[in-house]
A and B are shown apart, each in its own frame.
Chain A
Amino acid sequence: MTPLLSVQNIRKTYGTRIGCTGVSFDLYPGEVMGIVGESGSGKSTLLNCLAGHLEPDGGRVVFDTRTDGPVDTVTMSEPERRMLGRTDWAFVHQHARDGLRMSVSAGGNIGERLMAVGDRHYGDIRDKAIDWLGRVEIEANRVDDRPTAFSGGMQQRLQIARNLVTGPRLVFMDEPTGGLDVSVQARLLDLLRGLVREMGLSAIIVTHDLAVVRLLADRLMVMKDGHVAESGLTDQVLDDPQHAYTQLLVSSVLQV
């Protein structure tokens, strides 16, 4: 089987400081990979390199495109990459306000990607927006409200709806549950798990939250100082952690 995403030896430095280096892995269709690691270990840097938000200094990010098969997204033209960014790819930011248009209604936020790929029927766009609000458990009568009137959890769910409405095949998430109350996190997590299963989504999720990893990730990658410290099936890594950070992560949760 062709990997959906094949990451080969990705390196990104900021001046002399290493952002991430020597990262390689394959992600197969329908797989969810978690990335954990202490603060500053290079998780966001890596994710942004993969999603085309940062240009890596070296390596390849080969995506299995619908039309042309596997293509290195690092060297593809910017218009093609941006097109991927609003069709087959989705990016969920930690802070919803980075991923939403705060001055545009919920319906407009969800509709943006549809309109960006050429939907020109207001009624259809609105119906899809309302359908997606329902799928992220926001009431239909909030469709004309701006995200500024939403709670943090609702904003995050809206951001997810806005990203998934065009049926992407690969979703990048940078700490999607970060900064939310624990109860709100649990609900969001449930929702994400449902959507991932139902849509057969492939995803790469950066997180500090072991619950996210346990519930969502088939595979886990642990980062340390910009390198991959260990990786494998989630259960294996968590049950028999080799790396000190992973051991700490597992034990700290067990203590709770």
Chain B
Amino acid sequence: MSEYNFAYLDEQTKRMIRRAILKGLAVPGYQVPFASREMPMPYGWGTGGVQVSAATLTPDDTFKVIDQGADDTTNAVSIRKFFENTAGVVTTEETEKATVIQTRHRIPEAELTEDQILVYQVPIPEPLRFLEPRETETRKMHALEEYGLMHVKLYEDISQHGAISTSYAYPVKVSGRYVMDPSPIPKFDNPKLEMDAIQLFGAGREQRIYAVPPHTKVVSLDFEDYPFEATKADHPCDLCGAEDSYLDEVIMDDAGNRMFVCSDTDYCRSRRAAGHEGRLAKEDAA
């Protein structure tokens, strides 16, 4: 581990990233360009988030990594190992114990506090991209607050599907100013974007960092007659019985039996440890 600088990146690079982070916090939702570095992992594996985490971590931090809510996927494990090796920080799977949490596609169920930082991996930072591919034009649209196009996307959704079908990366307006892609979290998580913790977003390939400071107003875009809804599967968790958590659907056998389980594995585990039981809790233990 001594062959690396703390958290892999050199201090110069970390300072550059921190400046981008601070600028992002000063202008909530604004995409700050930064000089993304080559990381020893491919794009799409969270290189943006990893660089933000590297610039954020201190030796005293406790680090947690989740991928779609789970701590044990290949992606989460490899990023956790990466920082164990390069920064020597303590890692944890417990949301409450972590001071820095890097995430892909979820916000933890447990309410985060002012002492925590949530770092998102972002594949495509530009919410206007799919309708306006020209970067010069989208920049201008942000600068001039011309966001009609975002509603065109939602209009298309309703006209094709009878409802706003966008269920991931649901666009939000931050602090009454910038429209932002919250990364591919389910829209169920959108209301949680107004939180006590600092939220940092890193896009490696696209070289953008943006941020939502604590207690910032974050509004999900919608229509008066099609208001935003934070939906989830209408089910309790089959393992811990939670009614308020985002669920993954798991196919159990060829006969089409399914179960619904918390996507946040730590949340589910801690509830079961506290004695909560879902419909299939006994079978799972067996």
Contact = CB atoms under 8 A, between A and B. Distances in A.
Interface of A: 78-79, 82, 86, 101, 103-105, 107-108, 111-113, 115-117, 120-123, 125-126, 143-144
Nearest to B158: A122
Contacts of B226: 122
B224 A121 contact: yes
B144 interface: yes
A244 B131 CA distance: 47
B114 interface: no
Contacts of A101: 131, 152
Contacts of A117: 148
A67 to B, nearest CB: 18
Interface string B171-184: 00000000000000
13 contacts: A78-B144, A79-B144, A86-B148, A101-B131, A107-B159, A108-B152, A113-B148, A116-B149, A120-B222, A120-B224, A125-B155, A143-B159, A144-B160
A115 B151 contact: yes
A122 B160 contact: no
A220 B237 CA distance: 74
Contacts of B223: 120-122
Contact of B155 (A79, A82, A86, A108): A108
Contacts of A123: 225
Interface of B: 131, 144, 146, 148-149, 151-152, 155-156, 158-160, 222-226
B155 A116 contact: no
A116 B146 CA distance: 7
Contacts of B156: 104-105, 108
Contacts of A122: 155, 158, 223-226
B58 to A, nearest CB: 42
Given A82-B146, A115-B152, 14 more contacts: A79-B144, A82-B144, A86-B148, A101-B152, A103-B131, A111-B152, A115-B155, A116-B148, A116-B149, A120-B224, A122-B223, A143-B159, A144-B159, A144-B160
Interface centre among A82, A122, A125 (most CB of B within 10 A): A122
Interface centre among A78, A108, A113 (most CB of B within 10 A): A108
B225 A121 contact: yes
A82 B148 CA distance: 13
Nearest to A82: B144
Interface centre among A79, A113, A115, A117 (most CB of B within 10 A): A115
